[in-house]
Structure 1
Amino acid sequence: MGERENDELDRSDTTLVIVTGVSGGGRSTVARALENVGFYVVDNLPQALMLEMAELAYAAGSPARLTAMVLDVRSRAFSADLTGAVHALKERGFNPHVVFLDAADDVLIRRFESVRRSHPLQGDGRLADGIAAERKLLEEAREQADVIIDTSHLNVNQLRRRVEEMFGGEDARRLRVTVLSFGFKYGLPPDADFVLDARFLPNPFWVPELRDLTGRDEAVSGYVLGQHGAVPFVDTYSRLIVGTAPGFEREGKRYLTVAVGCTGGKHRSVAIAEELATRLRESRVSASAQHRDLGRE
């Protein structure tokens, strides 16, 4: 299995995903999702063993061609110098992808309180103290990330589905675009690479027969896309993303989040996000639409 097979492969053919992030951010869910799409997952790996684990995965050939390493700040061997560790992997010929899981402080506090657990770094202090200490420790890791997933408004199934869409399938090395609708009243998505504002369009909320529907309904979609400027808006951003996708792929970026916002995240942003994702797929860009705030109103 080893030598003959590896004569035909170089280290960049071994897909390495490094998962880290804040405690309570969803690392266990991501690990299970990666296993679902065929990854060999090593949980709670000390950072000092990353290069050794990568070499073992390469030597194993096909059985470990897809390998994920989940790093945990609670490991005694954890170091904030993730940049150096990733650089060492790249120098050896690997092409690692770093996924960072984040969530708002209030969400993390609720998650810890719901399971009646203390934060691993809070010591004798409060939950908020542990979260703050961990954020400081993880600053460099967050900056190093290829993709940041904010899990504040994602349930377990939504997070699992997002990870499976990112890493599943034969085209896992291609750029994958998530078109994410949201409501400005609930805050900007912190993991967005591009933010589009659909509030220049008339709001279907003020049309009585459309108020209780969503942007997924044909009546609302038709209304939104029929407004002056809506189709050129989608066309412009579709061309922008399609035109820059090859460059992102050349530079090793695999995941792009395009956030489309309106006031409440129910009508205009949802309709535009669905249409933009459709246009991107028609242009052979791997894209899916997700809706962060749908159902909150």
Structure 2
Amino acid sequence: MSGSGKSVALKTFEDLGYYCVDNLPAELLPEFVRRMLASHASPERIAVGIDARSLGDLSDLPEALSQIGAQGMDTRLLFFDTRDEVLLRRYADTRRRHPLSHLGLVLPDAISLERQALKPLRQIADHVLDTSELNVHQMRRHILTEYELSGAGLSLLFESFAYRRGVPAEADFVFDARVLPNPHWDARLRPLSGRDAAVADHLDADPEVIAYVAQVQGFLDTWLPKLRSETRSYVTVAFGCTGGRHRSVYLAERLARHCRESGWVEVAVHHRELD
């Protein structure tokens, strides 16, 4: 359903390493996949967003998925849904136009028509995620952690946050970065974030930061592998600082990169105060 969070979902899948395409007509899907498979740098995983803007050929989607399966690809259909009253409120808050508004329909009628058109797809979906009670951050975390799409085993989520907004309830391990020097007090670095090279270089040059990172790496290298034997699909490692912009972001990115380089397959990053 338009307004249920498909754009957020695609961005999240992109962070998970998927090759993402939005608003692809369903009838073009098999040819698109064929070309991707034939390309020199063929992606291992693809996520394609299709919504009411493809209203005319949505009935082609089941056949398109069948053709893709015949090419040897495993396909999964995820349907993102939201209650009508929540959709109405979201459109009122964002003042965006519904994709079917060009038909001259008022918003409630556009939502009703879209729901009717998408009903067959919802019925054949492998997963249905109702986002009515989820904000952007909760939805992103839900996809990153609770959807075990690849079957690759334990998934790792590295999250940054600001202590003034509370510790993420889903965190399994929490590390406090407020003991480290704060780039906020450098006028050149204040407008940047821990994603920026200037902030990373500044922190990399500090002996306290180097020692902190080494100790956290040692902890994760020791204990994360032991969790593989547990009956769980994901682990969330959270880093907090005062504003959730510099130190915690830097650490989440740095430790996520370390785990990828150490052979972990499913590694994602979420910056609560930035994303």
TM-score, normalising length: structure 1? 0.49
Whole-Å Cα distance in 1 between the matches of residues 146 and 232 of structure 2? 13
Structure 2: which amino acid aligns with 1:125?
Answer: L
Distance in 2 (CA, whole Å) between partners of 1:90 and 1:73 is 24
Measured after TM superposition, the shift of residue 62 of structure 1 is 5.5
Alignment partners' CA distance in 2, 1:287 and 1:25: 24
- Report SS of the residue matched to 1:78: helix
The alignment's C-alpha RMSD in Å is 3.0
Q: How does 1:248-263 map to 2 (within 5 A)?
A: none
Shift of 1:174: 5.4
What 5-or-longer segments of structure 2 have no aligned partner? Answer: 155-168, 171-226, 237-275
1:173 aligns to 2:120 (yes or no) = no
Alignment match of 1:286 (pick from 233, 243, 254): 233
**In 2, Cα distance between the equivalents of 1:175 and 1:282?**
10
Q: Residue 72 of structure 2 aligns with which residue?
A: 93
- 1:194 maps to none
Distance 1:67 1:166 in 2: 19
- The residue identity in structure 2 corresponding to 1:129 is D
- Please list the CA deviations of residues 148-198 of structure 1 after superposition, one character each: whole Å capped at 9, or x if unmatched: 111101111111112222568xx822589xxxxxxxxxxxxxxxxxxxxxx
What's 1:128 paired with?
Answer: 108
> SS in structure 1 opposite 2:30?
helix
Aligned residues of 1:82 and 1:140 also touching (Cα < 8 A): no
Aligned mates of 2:40, 2:82 — CA distance in 1: 36
Q: Is the 8 A contact 2:146 2:233 kept in 1?
A: no
**1:147 aligned residue (127, 141, 166):** 127
Partner of 2:253: none
- Flag the 1:153–1:175 CA change in 2: closer, same or farther, 3 A: farther
Structure with the bigger percentage of helix: 2
SS across alignment from 2:57: coil
2:18 counterpart residue number: 39
CA 60–44 in structure 1, closer or farther in 2 if over 3 Å, else same: same
* Distance change in 2, residues 1:67/1:162 (3 Å): same
CA distance in 1, matches of 2:19, 2:69: 20
SS of alignment partner, residue 149 of structure 1: strand
C-alpha change, 1:143 and 1:174, in structure 2 (3 Å) is farther
Q: How many residues align?
A: 166
CA contact (8 A) 1:34 1:41 kept: yes
Normalised to the residue count of structure 2, the TM-score between the two structures is 0.53
Is the contact made by 1:48 and 1:77 (CA closer than 8 Å) also made in structure 2? no
> Which of 1 and 2 has higher RCO (CA within 8 Å, sep 6+)?
2
Q: Which amino acid aligns with 1:142?
A: R
Identity %: 34
Residue aligning to 2:92:
113
Out of 35, 56, 81, the position equivalent to 1:56 is 35
Amino acid at match of 1:284: T
User: What are the Cα deviations for residues 20-64 of structure 1, in whole angstroms up to 9, with x where unaligned?
Assistant: xx0101111001101111111011111011111111222236551
